[in-house]
Structure 1
Amino acid sequence: MALLDGASILLTGGTGSFGKAFIAYALEHLNPRRLVVLSRDELKQYEARQLFADDPRLRWFIGDVRDRRRLERAMHDVDYVVHAAALKQVDTAEYNPFEFVQTNVTGSQNVIEAAIDRGVRKVIALSTDKASSPINLYGATKLCADRLFISGNHYAAGHPTRFAVVRYGNVMGSRGSVIPFFRSLAERGEELPVTDLRMTRFWITLPEAVAFVVSSFELMHGGELYVPRIPSMRLVDLARVIAPNSPMKEVGVRPGEKLHEEMIASDDARRTLLLDNRYVVMPHIAGWGYEPPEGGRPVPDGWAYRSDTNDLWLTDDDLRALVEKYG
């Protein structure tokens, strides 16, 4: 990718599943001048350093997005930022709400302000399907973060820094994936707990998620929310492919969980364009010279991007191949 070739890049939350996949992709394909990895856990950083053999292009910063001064230090001489740091567990958020506010909301504003003050060119923040029509605190904090990053383009005023957001659903092969959980139950001859037999989910692989973020840097002018056009799958189909001989039991939808995922709400349809392999949700207000992307086609009024009404679906063969490769 020409834009990022030889650039200095900062990755927050860089020792998670996405972070390690991004580092591997960047070292192989982007040839960064420097890739700064900021995260809180020294053990995970140590393990990641071993994984990447202490590549001399990597810089390892222990730090928290709640600490703006540490962010400013980490962003010294940085051209581009990928903001992946977040607290994410739905049930944990309900028990520790203000901790999620401090990391996902205040931490996001700290990233915005540090990027502007340090003269970063472009910032992409990672969002989640749970930020669309949120029904739990985690989703609400991520919606706030999304709006902060979009409005960060106003906040930058005359500064050159621009902000955009990328939103996607479940990531196959990420930490906490249901695949190894189902496999372990099947090996012990136990039933597979399925929250609801009707449940559907969007699905994307880690390499696809990383490539989508990287390509969004090339496209963005600031203020966009990018959503990949990806397939859906039924949870019962996934369970059957992973463990065809295991019985399933319906355990009910957990608090804060949706039956079907949504990545773009119907109220946002009037601002949404379909552009090749992605949807682009344009900003409510764009006072920094924003122009809609060329070639984008408006979606129908009242349309919503939901996993149950999606027109792309994974077949059993698709799921089997993906589970074998990434599970």
Structure 2
Amino acid sequence: MRRKMVSLCLVLMDAAIVALVPFIALYLRFEGLVNKRYLELFINYLPEIIVIRLAVFYMFGLYQRLWRYASIHELIGIISAVTISSIIIGVYMNVTGADIPRSIPVISWLLVILLLGASRLFIRVLHFVRHSRQDQVTNVLIVGAGDAGAVIAREINQRYNNTKRLIGFIDDDAYKHNQRLYGVKILGNCRDIARVTVEYQVKEIIIAIPSLGGPKLRDIVKGCKKTGCAVKVLPGLYELMDGKVSLNQLRDVDLEDLLRRDPVKLDLEEIAGYLTGKRVLVTGAGGSIGSELCRQIAKLSPNQMILLGKGENSIYEIDRELRDTYSTFKIEPVIADIRDESRINHIFDRFKPQVVFHAAAHKHVPLMEAQPDEAVRNNIFGTKNVAEAARRIGSETFIMISTDKAVNPTSVMGATKRVAELIVQSMNSKGKTKFAAVRFGNVLGSRGSVIPLFKKQIAKGGPITITHPEMKRYFMTIPEATQLVLQAGSMANGGEVFVLDMGEPVKIVDMAKDLIELSGLQPGKDIEIRFTGLRPGEKLFEELLTAEEGTNSTCHEKIYVANLKQVDEGQLQKALALLQIRERTPDEIVRLMEEILPSYRVTRGKVGQERRGAEESAVEDRPASKIVVGQVVVEG
């Protein structure tokens, strides 16, 4: 359509030039004193002259050329077309008995060449000027003509119009098509993206639909990527806790977006009720989960935040980030090791936190498998130190971050986290502090997740290494997990282990393929995927519950409470005393944890290797077991 319009404009312009040239030629020949007879003669012949010229111009392809790239070849085409048309006109007028001065055809021939050439040169100059401006201005297409798209459009027009030009919207709502929003059209639906990007020379596509689910977003992203445009996406609603949309929030499409889950519905009043105006301490505050907890808590205006962690660099970074954003409450960065009981007691005596989020833990399964004594000291006795300090000073709420690896653990890390859950449960009856744990699976983008590793492997050209083609994991984004942790904290009455609805498990190999494609490469062709076999402590499928536990639903659709047995306090204290003996060998530590946790399936040593081999070989014949948990289906 656009090309037809350009051709029509060229035809009309040429018709005007051809119509004016005979009279200009007469004016030049007679130096302004034109005989009336000649004027009448050319007026009578003008329709034939225009038709002959335009017909020959068409035959020579003057309306099928890209004049923005005109060169000497196009000039030769103009001269040829004008010469042939001039000869035809001359013969026609001579045959029909027209008596005109012999110099008029020559002057007309020269004038038509000059004016046609000038018009085409003007087109090229105009394109050059526009193109030079477009080098600094990016044509932008917004997918989503809703509230978020409107905010982005307004911001582009008001604040970024010198670098971005909004050319239109794409929206699947047929009612909106051909209507205008902020002066630009809704140009079609998602199937029209490829056409629109070519027709309007789009360089950047913004997907502005925060409520869009992962599967639909995946389809849109694939269509956008095929155009070769830069693709930006607005974060999901779970990342927009305050509901505000801004162009500064746009980012490149990442795996978190393709796995986007339904937005989390939060009761902000309930959460604010136990956090606003309170002294809040977060252990592991420099880690992935801990730092995001700090960000989310900061939005709810606590009285004071104590950022406790062992790594000085990570604590420094989250401290500076919060100070740059918030100035209405006190922020105290504290460098401390949760294994140091006297240091932890001193910190709690000094700050007297009312709410404690315990996120500090050793989480790397293979590393802890090789060093079970460190896992025990940090995950078990570090948790015990923090929990006892909170109980002693009378904290109101204590929330521990747990993991799905604590269910039927096959790793030292999982086993130590399950023992930590037992400690938190047992603490609940010893004072006024409400103790609870929140159990969930992997989080995308955390330091210990596979995603950063996959990205590094892709950057190096591969291969991506995966332990098993059938390995599956539950995944959440960091913001979603932390928001649900805060919500669960508001529900805690004491002694609960909350279980988050993790949705459906995702194959690790499918995630790897998505990451490769997001990098503009092809799995198996550009980047090899190599399977290396299960590592010590790993299992193919994670579980959120044991078959005996089951859950009770809560008032939140994504939060459940595990039905756990009462902790045998005497047995737990006896086991902890035995674990605390420093001279224990790794195998002795593992045997002690087996006694504490009958569900612990050891995968260390020769027996562990045989068990892992049997699990790998049986996976093809093993139907996925399903435990229906309220509205949650847990697959193991």
- Give 1:282-297 correspondences, 5 Å limit: 282-285=563-566
Q: 2:628–2:634: 8 Å Cα contact kept in structure 1?
A: no
Q: TM-score, normalised by structure 1?
A: 0.82
In 2, distance between residues paired with 1:310 and 1:145?
Answer: 23
Contact residue 439 and residue 544 of structure 2 kept, 8 A? yes
Residue correspondence of structure 1 range 144-223 to structure 2 within 5 A: 144-154=419-429, 156=430, 159-223=431-495
Letter in 1 for 2:322: F
In 2, the alpha carbon distance for the partners of 1:103 and 1:131 equals: 15
Alignment of 1:116-155 (within 5 A): 116-154=391-429
Matched residues in 1 for 2:365 and 2:455: separation? 23
% identical aligned pairs? 34
**174-183 or 234-243: which moved more?**
174-183
1:72–1:118 Cα contact (<8 Å) kept:
no
Query: Take 1:12 and 1:226, find their aligned partners in 2: how far apart are those partners?
Result: 19
CA contact (8 A) 1:223 1:286 kept: no
Q: Which has the higher contact order (CA 8 A, sep 6+)?
A: 1
Distance 1:74 1:284 in 2: 33
Of Structure 1 and Structure 2, which has the larger fraction of its residues in helix? 2
Q: Which amino acid aligns with 1:153?
A: N
1:3 maps to 274
Contact 2:291–2:318 (Cα < 8 Å) also in 1: yes
Q: CA deviation at 1:185?
A: 2.7
Corresponding residue of 1:291: none
CA distance in 2, matches of 1:153, 1:17: 27
Aligned mate of 2:558, from 253, 277, 280: 277
| Partner SS state of residue 134, structure 1 | coil
Contact kept in structure 1, 2:276 and 2:301, CA below 8 Å: yes
Q: Does 1:27 align with 2:298?
A: yes
Shift of 1:101: 0.9
The 3-state SS of whatever aligns with 1:268 is: coil
Deviation of 1:213 (Å): 1.0
More strand by percentage: 1
| 1:70 aligned onto 2:339 | no
1:108 and 2:383 are equivalent in the alignment? yes
What is the CA-CA distance between 1:66 and the residue it aligns to?
Answer: 1.4
Task: Kindly state the Cα deviation for residue 304 of structure 1 after the two structures are TM-superposed.
Answer: 6.8
Name the SS of the counterpart of 1:266 in structure 2. coil
Letter in 1 for 2:293: F
Q: Whole-Å Cα distance in 1 between the matches of residues 364 and 452 of structure 2?
A: 18
Cα offset, 1:87, TM superposition: 1.4
RMSD: 2.1
CA contact (8 A) 1:130 1:261 kept: yes
| Structure 1 residue 116 displacement after superposition | 1.1
* Equivalent of 1:39 in 299, 309, 313: 309
Residue 357 of structure 2 is aligned with which of 75, 82, 104?
A: 82
- Contact 1:189/1:246 (CA < 8 Å) preserved in 2? no
Give 1:216 shift: 1.1
TM-score norm. by structure 2 comes to: 0.43
- Residue type at the aligned position of 2:283: T
- Structure 1 residue ranges, 4+ long, deviating more than 4 angstroms after superposition: none
The structure with the larger Rg is 2
> Could you say what secondary structure the match of 1:123 adopts?
strand
Residue ranges of structure 1 left out of the alignment (5+ in a row): 288-301, 312-327
Distance 2:322 2:472 in 1: 36
- TM-fit CA distance, 1:90: 1.5
Specify whether residues 142 and 169 from structure 1 end up closer, same or farther in structure 2 by C-alpha distance, changes over 3 A only: same
Q: For the residues of structure 2 that align with 1:178 and 1:65, how far apart are their CA atoms?
A: 26
Check whether the contact 1:153–1:162 (CA below 8 A) recurs between aligned residues. Answer: yes
- Given that residues 445 and 452 in structure 2 are in contact (C-alpha distance below 8 angstroms), is that contact kept between their aligned partners in structure 1? no
In structure 2, the residue matched to 1:324 is: none
Matching residue of 2:500: 228
User: Which residue number in structure 2 is paired with residue 292 of structure 1?
Assistant: none
Question: What letter is aligned with 1:66?
Answer: R
Q: What CA distance in whole angstroms lies between the structure 2 residues aligned with 1:78 and 1:116?
A: 11
Task: Tell me which residue corresponds to 1:260.
Answer: 541
Shifted more, 220-229 versus 62-71: the winner is: 62-71
Unmatched runs of 5 consecutive residues or more in structure 2: 1-271, 569-625
Q: Which moved more, 1:95-104 or 1:40-49?
A: 40-49
Q: Distance in 2 between matches of 1:180 and 1:137?
A: 23
Kindly state the Cα deviation for residue 286 of structure 1 after the two structures are TM-superposed: 8.5
Distance in 1 between residues matched to 2:448 and 2:381, nearest whole Å: 25
Q: 1:109, CA displacement in angstroms?
A: 1.2
